[in-house]
Every structure is written in C-alpha cells, then in structure tokens.
Amino acid sequence: MHKDVQKIILTEKQIQAKIQELAKRINADYKNKDLVLIVILRGAAMFLADLSKQINVPHTIDFIVATRYGYHDAPRGEVKLIKDLDQSISGKNILIIEDIVDNGCTIKYIYDHLKQRGPKSLKICTLFDKPYNRKIKIKLDYTGFLVQEEFVVGYGLDYKQKYRNLPYLAILKPEIYKN
Ligand code: IMP
Ligand code: MG
C-alpha cells in the first residue's frame, strides 16, 4: 500500500471485475451499432484503457479535457473545457466515459455540449458515483460503484495531480491535505 494511503476502499480486483460487468452490458446494448467512446480526461484515462479492451463492439475513441477549477478551489462547480473533440459526432452513438460523478456539474456540462452536436444517441458511463453531493440531476446509464467517502484517489483520480496511478481506490491520510 502507498505510504500516503489511509485505507483502500475498492481493490484492483474488485474494480477489474466491475469493468468486465460494465463491458458485458455495453457489448449487449451496442451490438451491431457503431460506437464512439468519448473520454473525459484526465481522470477517466485509466478506466478507458481497461474498459475499451473488454468492449468487443467496433468503436472509436475521442477525448475531451475538462476541469472543474479546481476541485478544492471552486466548490460552486465552474467547468472549463480545455480540449474539444477532433471528430464530428453527428448521427453517431456516443458513450461518455467518466471517472466519477460528484455534484454533477462536469458531466452535465459535457452532456449538454455534446447533445448540441446531433448524436444519434448519447449515454453516460461512470465508474464511480457519489450521489450524496449531487447538485444537478442527471441520468447515469452505466454506473460501476457508489462511493460514500468524501474524497477518494487512485485508479485515475487525483489529489493535486498525484495518486492517479494507484491501481485501487483509496482515501488519503488526513495529514496529506495539510501540505
Ligand atoms: P462534479 O462536477 O462535482 O460531478 O465532479 C466531477 C469531477 O471532479 C470528476 O471528473 C473528477 O475529476 C473530480 N472529482 C470529484 N470527486 C472526486 C474525488 O473524490 N476524488 C478526485 N476527483 C474527484
Ligand atoms: Mg479530475
């Protein structure tokens, strides 16, 4: 275990098993359909890498970079788009890949942004969901785990850009936040 970690919430094994389950559902739902995965960087990069390998429906991948500036500095939840899509999504089946949905501002912003561009279908897949902090109502089509903890790191999720590489989901020791 990493020296800054207080507790592991979900192990690598639990996360990988859940990703297989999600991929099975996606494979069934998008059978014989063209699929585009749109990934919200940077947090969802790990999730995409593992999920995409388990999806057997032919699909392309594109990236959006969004920031809630920053998690600890902007509790009102302003979202900023730093990089937009490289391809048109008009008439395509789009699945948004997100790491965690917290108050919902980020995913709602991206959802509305993509909706304007005329996709054939638009759905959301998030690995983690913290529904207790939700400020904006949004339908999540595929959810991996409900998370009760206030702030978690690992498996793509960061604190000050660190800990994304941990293969598990964890909470940090309280003294880490004091630095
Ligand atoms: P929302 O706009 O509050 O739904 O926040 C979503 C974004 O905030 C996610 O894409 C993450 O990048 C970040 N975030 C929310 N909760 C956590 C957390 O517990 N740990 C790390 N990042 C988080
Ligand atoms: Mg983030």
Residue written as token pair 């063209």: 34
Ligand 1, atom nearest to 40 Cα: 10
Q: What is the pTM of this model?
A: 0.93
* CA-proximal residue: ligand 1, atom 17 (nearest): 151
What pLDDT does residue 77 have?
Answer: 63
Cα–Cα separations (whole angstroms), residue 122 to 4, 39, 52, 76, 163: 38, 13, 17, 26, 31
Of 46 and 86, which is predicted with more confidence?
Answer: 46
**Residue 65: C-alpha distances to residues 15, 38, 89, 109 (Å):** 24, 10, 16, 12
Q: What angle do CA 129, 93, 88 make, to 5 degrees?
A: 110
| For range 37-41, the mean pLDDT | 94
Looking from the CA of residue 103, the nearest atom of ligand 1 is: 3
Mean pLDDT value across residues 139-162: 96
Nearest CA to ligand 1 atom 21: 157
The arithmetic mean of pLDDT across residues 23-44, rounded, is 95
Mean pLDDT of 93-116: 95
Which tens digits make up the pLDDT trace of 53-90? 999 999 999 999 987 765 555 556 678 888 888 889 99
pLDDT band per the 50, 70, 90 thresholds, residue 170: very high
For 150, residues 6+ apart whose C-beta sits below 8 A from its C-beta are: none
Pinpoint the alpha helices (H) of 56-145.
105-115
Residue 89 CB coordination number (10 Å)? 18
Between the CA of 79 and the centroid of ligand 1 the distance, in Å, is: 11
CA 114–ligand 2 middle distance (angstroms): 19
pLDDT of residue 82: 87
Q: What is the mean pLDDT of the chain?
A: 93
> Closest-lying ligand to the alpha carbon of 73?
1
Is 29 in the active site? no
- Active-site choice (50, 99, 102, 129): 102
Ligand 1 geometric centre to CA of 8 (Å): 18
Mean pLDDT of 104-119: 94
